[in-house]
């Protein structure tokens, strides 16, 4: 493709991020924006020069009336289905925020619509673009630590994300919000699918603050080829943590190991009269006014692979199998049983 007309569905926090990254490309024209809250769609449209007649509150009207080659679907975790299926049926390429979907039926129906319509789809499982993880994966692929054998991945958010940032945290789960990144990263490193899972969760801290969702999950994954991994996903890291995410990763191979602490780089510490903190220089920040960080690289990747017609680093099967594995983890935590993933 030489020029791409892109429309945004969901003009919230991350929809605004999609719009700014897409707006960097001369080959991309932002043609429409849709949000059930018209004022949000209007504000984003005004910022990016999208004409008022292409501001919508119903994505079906936008798909019908607006020139579009691809859509960015940036609605809450559990509301990707209709926008994805209707867009695929309208012949549009799809960039969908993680997770692909939060029910088996939604996963299967979106996959079916994408295949039937021959459109391209990428889900924004952006940890594959996280520099320490990408470097470790390249080294693993080069055989430097032998075969992956055992892993530990802790990916937590500070409490503020659940209590203040997301209005819909109680309708989702830390497993959908961050666990999808953990699961996809582990699948990527092991180059394998999860066979079965055993998860235990706890609830009470967030619900005590009015957000009715699990605080934390501790999960053991067994991969088909024998690899094992422990995954921790919580939404209760104290707000005083120097960085929004708490990220620790260890991969033991048959001949070596990677150890990653991506919570904060330790390269920079800011001290003021009242506190110290480690500013983010990895995930999403700005350098000389330009968005930097791996959270933006995946959005750029989607556009660049549409332009050069090369494959996405994250396939539809990666996204679908990640969601299906998360469903198994939720069932395991609910039933206190080992659950086999149903693909």
Q: Which of 249, 43, 40 is nearest to 151 (CA)?
A: 249
| Identified binder of ligand NAD from the candidate list 22, 34, 121, 174, rule CB under 6 A | 34
Strand order in the sheet with 245-253: 256-261, 245-253, 148-157, 228-234, 216-223, 194-202, 339-340
**Counting contacts by CB under 6 A, is residue 179 touching ligand NAD?**
no
In whole angstroms, give the CA distance from residue 192 to residue 317.
12
The binder of ligand NAD chosen from 69, 86, 124, 214 (CB under 6 A): 124
Residue 107 or 295: the one with the smaller Cβ distance to ligand NAD is 295
Residues 209 and 213: their CA atoms lie apart, in Å, by 10
Backbone angles phi, psi at 30, to 5 degrees: -80, 115
CB of 339 to ligand NAD, least distance (A): 23
Asked whether position 301 contacts ligand NAD by CB under 6 A, the answer is: no
Closest CA to 176 of 21, 325, 22, 24: 325
37 lines the binding site for ligand NAD (CB under 6 A): yes
Q: Does 90 bind ligand NAD (CB under 6 A)?
A: no
Least distance (Å) from ligand NAD to the CB of residue 82? 7
Residue with tokens 């690289």: 297
Strands 194-202 and 70-73 come out as unpaired
Of the candidate spans 35-43, 133-141, 190-198, 309-317, the one that interacts with ligand NAD by CB under 6 A turns out to be: 35-43
Site string for ligand NAD, 134-173 (x = CB under 6 A): --------------------------------xx------
Question: Which of 92, 67, 130 is closest to 281 using CA atoms?
Answer: 130
For ligand NAD, the binding residues (CB under 6 A) are 9-15, 34-37, 40, 59, 74-77, 79, 97-98, 124, 126, 166-167, 177, 295
């Amino acid at each position: 493709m030489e020029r791409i007309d892109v429309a945004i569905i969901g003009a919230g926090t991350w929809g605004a991020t999609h719009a700014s990254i897409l707006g960097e490309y001369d080959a991309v024209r932002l043609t429409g924006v849709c949000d059930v809250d018209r004022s949000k769609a209007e504000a984003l449209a005004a910022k990016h020069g999208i004409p008022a007649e292409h501001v919508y509150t119903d994505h079906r009207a936008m798909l019908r009336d607006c020139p579009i080659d691809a859509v960015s679907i940036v609605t809450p975790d559990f509301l990707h289905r209709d926008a994805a299926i209707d867009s695929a049926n309208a012949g549009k390429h799809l960039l969908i925020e993680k997770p692909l979907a939060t029910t088996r039926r939604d996963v299967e129906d979106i996959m079916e619509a994408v295949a039937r319509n021959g459109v391209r789809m990428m889900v924004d499982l952006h940890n594959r673009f996280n520099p320490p993880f990408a470097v470790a994966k390249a080294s693993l692929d080069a055989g430097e630590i032998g075969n992956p054998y055992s892993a530990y991945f802790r990916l937590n958010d500070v409490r503020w994300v659940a209590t203040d940032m997301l209005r819909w945290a109680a309708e989702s789960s830390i497993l959908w919000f961050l666990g999808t990144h953990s699961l996809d990263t582990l699948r990527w490193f092991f180059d394998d699918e999860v066979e079965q899972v055993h998860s235990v969760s706890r609830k009470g801290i967030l619900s005590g603050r009015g957000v009715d969702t699990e605080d934390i999950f501790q999960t053991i994954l067994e991969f088909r080829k024998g690899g094992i991994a422990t995954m921790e996903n919580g939404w209760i890291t104290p707000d005083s943590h120097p960085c929004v995410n708490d990220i620790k990763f260890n991969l033991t191979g048959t001949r070596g190991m990677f150890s990653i602490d991506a919570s904060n780089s330790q390269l920079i510490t800011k001290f003021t009269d009242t506190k110290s903190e480690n500013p983010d220089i990895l995930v999403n920040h700005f350098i000389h006014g330009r968005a930097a960080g791996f959270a933006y690289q995946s959005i750029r990747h989607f556009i660049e692979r549409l332009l050069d017609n090369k494959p996405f680093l994250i396939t539809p099967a990666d996204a679908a199998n990640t969601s299906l594995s998360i469903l198994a983890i939720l069932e395991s935590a609910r039933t206190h049983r080992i659950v086999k993933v149903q693909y």
